[in-house]
Amino acid sequence: EAEVAQSPRYKITEKSQAVAFWCDPISGHATLYWYRQILGQGPELLVQFQDESVVDDSQLPKDRFSAERLKGVDSTLKIQPAELGDSAMYLCASSFLPAAAPDTQYFGPGTRLTVL
Amino acid sequence: AQSVTQLDSHVSVSEGTPVLLRCNYSSSYSPSLFWYVQHPNKGLQLLLKYTSAATLVKGINGFEAEFKKSETSFHLTKPSAHMSDAAEYFCVVSGRGFKTIFGAGTRLFVKA
C-alpha cells in the first residue's frame, strides 16, 4: 500500500539554526498538507498545496517558515531561524482530490523537531 | 467561521463496554466531518468520514458516528471496547472552500 514518506524522522537543532523537512506524498495525489502538532494538541494546518500552488498558508509564520512544492510532487518545509517554541511534530499529508473538495488525508509518520 | 470541539480530553472505559467520544462542530456551510485515530508512535489514520450522504457512518474496527445537524454533533461510538482501541482520537471538520480544522483530541484509555 502506498504511503506518505517523510524525512528525517527526528531532528535536534539549536535555536537560530535552519532546519528543513521533506515530504513525498502518495503518487497521483493533487493536494499536500503540512501540519504542526504540539504535544497534547491536535494538528494545526500550516500550509496546503494543490499541485505546485499554495492554497492556504494563513497559519504559516512567514517571517521564519517557508514551504515549496516546485514540481507539484514532493515538498520541503523550512524553518529559519528555529526558535524554542518550534519544538513539535511536523506532519505531512496528501489527498487525491483537489484542494476545494474535502477528501481523506493520508498522513506520513512525521518529523519530531526538538529545538535546544 | 468553522470550529470543532471535542468535549472530553480523556475517556476511560473497561474492555467490552461501549465507547462514546463526543464532538461538536460549528460551520457556516455544509461540512465534511472526519474521525482520525493516532496510536502511539504511529501515523494518523482515518476511521470514518461524513460527506453529506448517509447520516450514520460506519468506519473501520467497529466504530461508527452519527451526523446530527440539529445538534451540530458527530459523536463516535463503538459497542464494545478492545484493548487495541487505546489511542488518541481526533474529530476533524472540513469543507469546500475552507481549511481542515482538527479538534484538540480525546485520549481513550481501555482498562482490562
Hey, are the CB atoms on B45 and A107 less than 8 Å from each other? Answer: yes
* Number of DSSP helices (H) and strands (E) in chain A, helices first: 0, 11
Q: What is the pLDDT of residue B42?
A: 84
Contact in structure between B95 and B34 (CB atoms under 8 Å) = no
How far is it, in rounded angstroms, from Cα B62 to Cα B52?
21
Taking only the tens place, the pLDDT of each residue in B4-56 is 999 999 999 999 999 999 999 998 778 899 999 999 878 899 999 998 778 89
Question: A-side interface with B, Cβ within 8 Å?
Answer: 4, 33, 35, 40-45, 48, 56, 58, 91, 93, 100-102, 104-110
Handedness of CA B38, B42, B48, B52 (dihedral sign): positive
pLDDT at A15 over 90: yes
Partner residue opposite B44 with nearest CB, options A40, A56, A107: A107
The CA distance from A83 to the nearest CA of chain B, in Å, is 23
CA atoms within 13 A on the CB side of B108: 28
Locate the chain B residue with the closest alpha carbon to A59. Answer: B99
pLDDT at A34 over 80: yes
Partner residue opposite A104 with nearest CB, options B42, B49, B103: B49
Locate the chain A residue with the closest alpha carbon to B44. Answer: A107
CA atoms within 13 A on the CB side of A44: 15
Hey, are the CB atoms on B42 and A102 less than 8 Å from each other? Answer: no
Name the burial class of residue B63, with classes exposed (0-12), middle (13-18) and buried (19+) by CB atoms within 10 angstroms of its CB.
buried
How far is it, in rounded angstroms, from Cα A17 to Cα B74?
43
Q: Which of B29, B46, B33, B39 is nearest to B108 (CA)?
A: B39
Taking only the tens place, the pLDDT of each residue in B69-102 is 999 999 999 999 999 999 999 999 987 777 899 9
The CA distance from A102 to the nearest CA of chain B, in Å, is 5
Residue A31 pLDDT grade (very low, low, confident, very high; cuts 50, 70, 90): very high
Q: What is the pLDDT of residue B35?
A: 97
Provide CB contacts within 8 A for B10, sequence distance 6+.
B106, B107, B109
